[in-house]
Amino acid sequence: MEQEYGLFIDGKWTAPPGANRFRTINPATREPVGSFVAGTTGDVDRAIGAAAKAFPAWKETPAPKRGEILLEAARVMKQRKAELGRLVTREMGKVIGEGLGDVQESIDFIEYMSGEGRRLFGETVPSELRSKFCLTVLQPKGVVACITPWNFPTAIPNWKIAAALITGNTVVFKPASNTAACGAEVVKVYEAAGVPPGVLNLVTGSGAVVGNAMVVDPRVRAVSFTGGTDAGRDVYVRGAQGLKMVHLELGGKNPVLLMEDADLPLALEGVLFGAFGTSGQRCTATSRLIVHEKVHESFLKMLTDRLDRFSVGDPLDPKTGMGPVASADQEKKILGYIEIGRKEATLRYGGAKLTGGAYDQGFFLQPTIFETKHGTRISKEEIFGPVLSVIRVGSYEEAVRVANDVEYGLSSSIYTKDVNRAFRAIRELEAGITYVNAPTIGAEVQLPFGGVKNTGNGGREAGSAAIGEFTEIKTVFVDFSAKLQKAQIDSESAA
Ligand code: NAD
């Protein structure tokens, strides 16, 4: 059944009369999920106005009190976990265990951030002068824009919204258009938790209209964006005109390095989950398996044998291994890369759209494996689907060279029993995240998350790093000497 949503501005759900609408569909069945207002620049203007109006009071609300509201949001989310997990699966297509995991990650992060309301630590620092006290305090930036993709349709919005709110900012939020119901339901959770009017506002619609209007508005002091590298670069450039802080979490081409001494059965389960979990549409998905020649053939055989017992189908069925990809656009793009792969590499598994019966209703692809040399397009470009490029190497050194020779640097992994080599990999892999003897996926909310090179611009989400994303540091000097003291000139060290 299709549910109709409006915009959420200044604490009210509104649907401007005569507004254009768009809908989301279930990628497994093409059944409608939700209908949404295609927001205009006028809608964004009203949402930013409401956020700007709400800012002074929210900023002055004691942070522990803001934390209590967040804790209540986590409680509401927990109460609604089963229903929201199902919605994630219905709107985005990830299997139900992962749909529930998406919501659990939201709960974990909101709870974690609620505790930050009693921390938000500054520093005390000694002065070079007598009777002078120096400290720093964290202050909110103001109105911030949160723009999110569809692949973690509740978790990524919450990573941004909870961190922005606990630090005292007010928010304008634009979710990805094909998971707009998940985005709207996240907002309803905060509404039910008692977030005051104007503190969190939702405008649905396109990136070109709604997203862009948020990025260029001078009242928006920071933009937190997760999405593709091209869109992120565009957002960065536009945000730079207003000299605003733009936080980017972008694409990946994440490698698993499989060494000749690895525990192969352990690696098998890790590679399977890393490459085909969420139909390969996690930003941290394993898209390259860089494997030592001594175990190359035997591991490929284990992997393809295991895939024969891997089920693709109804994502709401708990026994299903992989659901559909998220949309017709995703399917087209991935099939395009599979065609490229057929020309430049050797297909070892899958490589086709699944058809017949229930498959005909949705966007179902086979898990696909190519054997390729490093340097082909499929080995270097982000595909964002269930397509794994397997690259044979002769040594650890070659594996690291290949792993690092891509434009991205989000996640990485090494399977080895050699502790020295594991520590070398931690040092040498150019990535924001390195796993040892675990797949490239599996972030935990209390640790920083982000990437290097074209995966971002240096910031980190989650963990305590999330606080830095949404705060300004105010440096404070308190001189209680009752006389003018001049730093550098009157300092005793200058004598
Ligand atoms: P996308 O870039 O198409 O869209 C992301 C969001 O940005 C959407 O809400 C979209 O409407 C909006 N948008 C697009 N163009 C815009 C513009 N010019 N101005 C303002 N907003 C704009 O990405 P997607 O297809 O939704 O998501 C897939 C991509 O996201 C992949 O590249 C994936 O790697 C990346 N991703 C990265 C991370 C990470 O943390 N590094 C996490 C998840 C997804």
CA gap 87, 92 in Å, rounded: 8
DSSP label of 358: G
pLDDT at 79: 98
pLDDT at 2: 87
pLDDT at 491: 87
CA gap 144, 214 in Å, rounded: 9
Report residue 332 as tokens. Answer: 């087209």
Average pLDDT, the chain: 97
Q: For 355-383, write each residue's pLDDT tens digit.
A: 999 999 999 999 999 999 999 999 999 99
Q: Which residue has the tokens 């927990």?
A: 78
Q: What is the mean pLDDT of residues 166-192?
A: 98
pLDDT at 1: 75
Ligand 1 neighbourhood includes 174 CB (under 6 angstroms):
yes
Report residue 151 as tokens. Answer: 């692949």
Those residues whose C-beta lies under 8 Å from the C-beta of residue 380, and which sit 6 or more positions away, are: 253, 374, 405, 406, 407
Q: For 248-294, write each residue's pLDDT tens digit.
A: 999 999 999 999 999 999 999 999 999 999 999 999 999 999 999 99
**Which one, of 448, 150, 186, lies nearest residue 279 by Cα?**
150
Ligand 1 neighbourhood includes 408 CB (under 6 angstroms):
no
Ligand 1 neighbourhood includes 249 CB (under 6 angstroms):
yes
CA gap 353, 344 in Å, rounded: 19
Ligand 1 neighbourhood includes 248 CB (under 6 angstroms):
no
Task: Quote the ligand 1 centre to 427 CA distance (angstroms).
Answer: 29
Q: What is the mean pLDDT of residues 7-23?
A: 95
pLDDT at 311: 95
User: Contact at 8 Å (CB) between 6 and 34?
Assistant: no
**Host H or E run for residue 342:** helix 328-344
Q: For 196-236, write each residue's pLDDT tens digit.
A: 999 999 999 999 999 999 999 999 999 999 999 999 999 99
Q: What band does 177 get if pLDDT is binned at 50, 70 and 90?
A: very high
**Which one, of 186, 252, 201, 217, lies nearest residue 406 by Cα?**
252
DSSP conformation letters of 400-439: HHHHHSSSEESEEEEE-S-HHHHHHHHHHS-SSEEEESS-
Residue nearest to atom 15 of ligand 1 (CA): 207
Residues annotated as catalytic are 249, 283
Residue nearest to atom 39 of ligand 1 (CA): 249
With H, G, I as helix, E, B as strand and everything else as coil, classify residue 469.
Answer: helix
Q: Residue 187 is which amino acid? A: V
Q: What band does 17 get if pLDDT is binned at 50, 70 and 90?
A: confident
Q: For 310-345, write each residue's pLDDT tens digit.
A: 999 999 999 999 999 999 999 999 999 999 999 999
pLDDT at 271: 98
CA gap 488, 91 in Å, rounded: 61
Q: Distances from the Cα of 147 to the Cαs of 204, 208, 231, 235, 444, in angstroms?
A: 10, 12, 11, 10, 21
Ligand 1 neighbourhood includes 142 CB (under 6 angstroms):
no
pLDDT at 494: 78
User: Contact at 8 Å (CB) between 390 and 319?
Assistant: no
Phi and psi torsions of 412, nearest 5°: -160, 160
Task: Quote the ligand 1 centre to 184 CA distance (angstroms).
Answer: 17
pLDDT at 189: 98
Task: Quote the ligand 1 centre to 265 CA distance (angstroms).
Answer: 35
Phi and psi torsions of 111, nearest 5°: -60, -45
User: Does residue 438 have a pLDDT over 90?
Assistant: yes
Report residue 36 as tokens. Answer: 């949404």
DSSP conformation letters of 268-324: HHHHHHHHHGGGG-STT-EEEEEEEHHHHHHHHHHHHHHHTT--BS-TTSTT-SB--
**Which one, of 428, 420, 435, 377, lies nearest residue 399 by Cα?**
428
- Please, where are the H alpha helices in 350-395? 377-380
pLDDT at 48: 98
For residue 144, count CB atoms less than 10 angstroms from its CB and return exposed for 0-12, middle for 13-18, buried for 19 or more.
Answer: buried
Q: Which residue has the tokens 């974690």?
A: 112
pLDDT at 318: 97
Q: For 66-89, write each residue's pLDDT tens digit.
A: 999 999 999 999 999 999 999 999
Q: What band does 43 get if pLDDT is binned at 50, 70 and 90?
A: very high
Ligand 1 neighbourhood includes 231 CB (under 6 angstroms):
yes
With H, G, I as helix, E, B as strand and everything else as coil, classify residue 372.
Answer: coil
User: Does residue 437 have a pLDDT over 90?
Assistant: yes
Residue nearest to atom 10 of ligand 1 (CA): 207
Task: Quote the ligand 1 centre to 323 CA distance (angstroms).
Answer: 21
Task: Quote the ligand 1 centre to 227 CA distance (angstroms).
Answer: 2
pLDDT at 445: 96
